[in-house]
Chains A and B, each alone.
Chain A
């Protein structure tokens, strides 16, 4: 029995040492990687100190061009979005980590139905991407607990990087160009045969809605100007799928800029990479347009503390 206990203690000790040291090495590689996830998540959580942050799912990642937006808005911008259908669980935890370091002046949140509906393809597990930042902020830890990752991440630093060793080893040759300040352009054009609008026949998820509202409250408490946006899709649903978002924004006296059915973009195949993501050309065109609208909303108020009357553009 004693022999066995010694074995167990030695194994646990060796594991702790190997786990912590490997974890440190992995963190080092994580921060230097140019692979999409590693770069976007690490930079957004740890490094960015830009005045205006753009957060959201892959639609935000591909649609908002900081270079253009900085010109329109006269302030530093960073596209903090990531692909992989990131939803409010991720955004809320990310915000918590960012606020531990600094307070941005404004946040533009590109919303998607997975932020308030019970979408089976995008749920609590999305917060799992914040695993490397376990222990940084209470908000992030709460999200990790919901995702079921908190305790494994707490006990093992290696587990936080599970599955991402290749991305970390070959990170130098990753596809993200750091000079683009977080934007990932897509080159190519949509194949329009058989393309249908995405539908969302799901019930409202009260947990996600509560998180969205907490997100809004946190921004208000920190005097962060929050604007909700919806960028165009190639083909739109007959249902008013973003009604909920507009109503929620109005309830909280927040502006919501909805370009979902913007005829300048809808059905323009040359501007889209696939049904829900615009290509480089589309992103640049859209950024110019939304930049002007955001400027109208923000420039007066960047240094003010009270929220202006929201305008809902169409």
Chain B
């Protein structure tokens, strides 16, 4: 899967979970940039992403992401 495709899919999941229809994600986006994205919604997002891509992250991986770019790198390694 192409990186851009992953980004698009991730963006879709975020939009669904955070109920933000016009959210736009880039590699540099962090939780500070999106008001609804905090430590609580983070876990919900993880669960939704795991379902969407049919993968499983380790706790360490989840805690290591600093921005969307890290997240996408992690996903691309797994699929």
Physical contact A–B (CB less than 8 Å): no
